Amino acid sequence: MAPPRPARLVPALRALLYWSLVYGYCGLCASVHLLKLLWSIGKAPAQTFRRAARAHPPACLSDPSLGTHCYVRIKDSGLRFHYVAAGERGRPLMLLLHGFPEFWYSWRHQLREFKSEYRVVALDLRGYGESDAPTHQESYKLDCLIADIKDILDSLGYSKCVLIGHDWGGMIAWLIAICYPEMIMKLIVINFPHPSVFTDYILRHPAQLLRSSFYYFFQIPWLPEFMFSINDFKALKHLFTSRSTGIGRRGRRLTADDLEAYVYVFSQPGALSGPINHYRNIFNCLPLKHHMVTTPTLLLWGEEDAFMEAEMAEVTKVYVKNYFRLTVLSEGSHWLQQDQPDIVNRLIWAFLGEDRRREWPSPVKSL
């Protein structure tokens, strides 16, 4: 017997409300940014469209203490990925996945720290930095990003790794742990909740919806890339240096060379489209069909994160059916592994040294 008509209408109405919210908020975000653009043009038109020439990368990107620049080509996709590797071959693999707008260099403190015991690989994700960037938006679906990590692991000659992800890289790390738990010895995520927590929370809490407005703004073609590039990439610099969102408000600040490294990478022709395309498929891929993580997990969180509310970190424990530890750093920003590298590294070492058979304590809030 077919279900009653009202019962059949409920999913359709939910879908209508969901997509109305998505596209309505996209339009609102676009309007706000267009007003900002018009204001900038009216105030200083020459400055708005000025871009400094950057023909050569800053020296910090070739610092030998960070490791060796390497490339791997994936057979199935044909894509070539860039990564920086430190530590001897044959040691256990530690794979590092960066967020937005970052690239391998965001893990510079961890490359130096963990190479004594691990083969540490900091990857440029698909579309970022020196990794290949497919032109089609569909090439950045979550399924493709998950397959990238699995194939890269195989190509590096490993069947398992310690997986660490920050921000969007944290999202991918969660999904790898859900889909391929046999590949992950231990999971460490920095400033990103379980994806199911994120999708549910953002629809129920207007404050988080506002913090995540860029997810909606990025659904619009070409305008986000353009807005990032005006005023010589002022928006990009602002993310890393402003008092509200930047690195080192109470921790370690970016050097001039560090900041220039980010601007250099994202100022290359077409360098912003790939990273933003990651977000242009997210509303078609979430919510998840499978949720549970069975890998020992450490979640690190900067309490002063300008983009993610800390309450999501607390809820994440529901989806981890194994050892789980949450540590919230009271003075940490969103860019935690760069902002508080010494503390983050100590916490990672402690987690890696934990006895698997030990029953872990409840999530704690410390430091």
136 classed as catalytic: no
For residues 242 and 244, give the distance between their C-alpha atoms in angstroms, rounded to a whole number: 5
* DSSP string across 18-81: HHHHHHHHHHHHHHHHHHHHHHHHHH-HHHHT------S--GGGG-GGG-EEEEEE-TTT--EE
Burial of 179 (0-12, 13-18, 19+ CB in 10 A): middle
132, 323, 334, 339: the active-site residue: 334
Encoding tokens for residue 312?
């999501």
User: Would strands 119-123 and 80-86 be described as parallel, antiparallel, or unpaired?
Assistant: antiparallel
262 classed as catalytic: no
User: Would strands 161-166 and 184-190 be described as parallel, antiparallel, or unpaired?
Assistant: parallel
Closest CA to 186 of 360, 312, 42: 360
Burial of 248 (0-12, 13-18, 19+ CB in 10 A): middle
For residues 207 and 169, give the distance between their C-alpha atoms in angstroms, rounded to a whole number: 23
216 classed as catalytic: no
132, 151, 167, 305: the active-site residue: 167
For residues 280 and 275, give the distance between their C-alpha atoms in angstroms, rounded to a whole number: 10
118, 128, 279, 319: the active-site residue: 279
Assess contact for 271 and 264: CB atoms under 8 A: no
Assess contact for 92 and 162: CB atoms under 8 A: yes
Assess contact for 111 and 174: CB atoms under 8 A: no
Catalytic machinery residues: 167, 279, 334
